[in-house]
Amino acid sequence: MIEMHIGFDDTDSPKGGCTTYIAALLVEKLDSMGASFVDYPNLVRLNPNVPWKTRGNGALCLRIRCPNNLVEKIIETTIEVIEENAELSCEETNPGIIFFFNKVPQEIRDFAKRTVQGVVEMEEALRLVKTFGAEAVSMKKGRGIIGGLAAIGENLNADYTYEVIAYRTPENRGTTRRIRALSVKEMDEKTFPLTFNNIDPGTSRILITPRGPDPILYGIRGENPEVVKQAHEMVLQEESVERWVIFRTNHGTDAHLRKITSISEIQPYTPVVVRGIVAKEPKVIQGGHVILSIKDKTATVDCAAYEPTGILCETSKNLIVGDFVEAHGGVRPASTRHSITINLEKMRILELARKITLLNPICSDCGKRMKSMGKTKGFRCEKCGFRASQLKKTAVETNRKLKRRLYITSPRSQRHLTKPLCRYGREKSNAPKRTIKGWHFP
């Protein structure tokens, strides 16, 4: 018996296809051939800020054991399934497949982490493939080799979650998805917080169904395979389900975010966590979006909280100069219209500055607040006419609406990798030792 890791990526396009669907097809085929799965299919979301991603930037790895005499057949089958189902007619779809045998070395695990948190080059991936004797298959430009190798290297031994994905039959793809919204709400009530991001609390919008032309009917995310399977069984579909699979994934783990020590270290397209002091009053721009600047001893950077982020946008509006915050988000490069900017996913308020408001004095005769008569001219009470030239404005500290805590974008705006509040304290370590029965169909 030999241990085999099959990684692949970049098979979909904006107009259709889905790399997880190809994984689901391969699960059925490899299972029928006699391969034994040593883990759930690994769905690894890579850096969501790279400009060449399709949708969720997800790469897949299937980890199996099989007899040596099955290896060539498995390789042939994998290539055949990807060739038949990848969106090869799309210019930007460039699939890559990696076949790796036995234990995954630390160098490839390090490469995977950099692929999730930063930007890597094809040359590095090809060098690692050659160094460790993996087999690589490139279709067209083969950019998917990077993601395929990263999916193999990311063993999800830190934190991880699960997602059950149900797929549509071919005749229904491209049409409105048909599931009963009430069943999703009931499922959420019974399984939350062990499942998460099923419904947006601010709009009541169903979040488990995607909006694109891909073959996914819905996906339910949760803390363990049993609960996502239970949740899947509670959703009432009004169209046929062709197949479904439970994946183990880095969804909802903040795996992409990397702490840096200074603002000057920020690089375009990277997801960062950085601390700074609010440098100027936040500005609300067209569309209700908020732009604020933070600074440290090394540099200043803009941060953007977009209107759909809900509480994060409202929180940003109420910051003042001097507040000490920690910004979490992906870095958008500078352009002719804006400077380099952190698109906020989260923000932790570490310290709140004192907000001092200067108020006109109170009239000593009638108790009403007086009006200024102009600079250095004193104050006058409009009610009783009392005048005073020597009185000064009074400094009053205003209570702040904000608290020192973590603020996260609303569920409808959360990226695949963003860790929701309900997951804090539920982090895992070490991969599961076995899979549950019936983790895929067929």
* Assigned token pair, 252: 């909802």
Element housing 345 (H / E): strand 341-351
Give tens-digit pLDDT for 211-256.
888 999 999 999 999 999 999 999 999 999 999 999 999 999 999 9
Please name the residue that has the structure tokens 């039959």. 169
* pTM of full prediction above 0.95: no
User: What is the CA angle 110-112-116, rounded to 5?
Assistant: 120
State the CATH architecture for 161-254: Alpha-Beta Complex (3.90)
Q: Is the dihedral of CA 128, 38, 16, 119 positive or negative?
A: negative
| C-alpha closest to that of 160 among 37, 252, 64, 256 | 252
pLDDT for the residue numbered 398: 85
Please name the residue that has the structure tokens 């100027």. 280
182: CB partners within 8 A, 6+ apart: none
d(CA 367, CA 372): 16
pLDDT for the residue numbered 376: 74
Please name the residue that has the structure tokens 């899979």. 435
Residue 389, SS3? coil
d(CA 225, CA 247): 8
Find out whether 74 and 4 touch, Cβ atoms under 8 Å. Answer: yes
Residues with pLDDT less than 50, the chain:
none
Give tens-digit pLDDT for 310-336.
899 999 999 999 999 999 999 999 988
d(CA 81, CA 103): 25
State the CATH architecture for 2-155: 2-Layer Sandwich (3.30)
Strand 271-278 and strand 258-259: the pairing is parallel
Fold held by 258-352+400-414: OB fold (Dihydrolipoamide Acetyltransferase, E2P) (2.40.50)
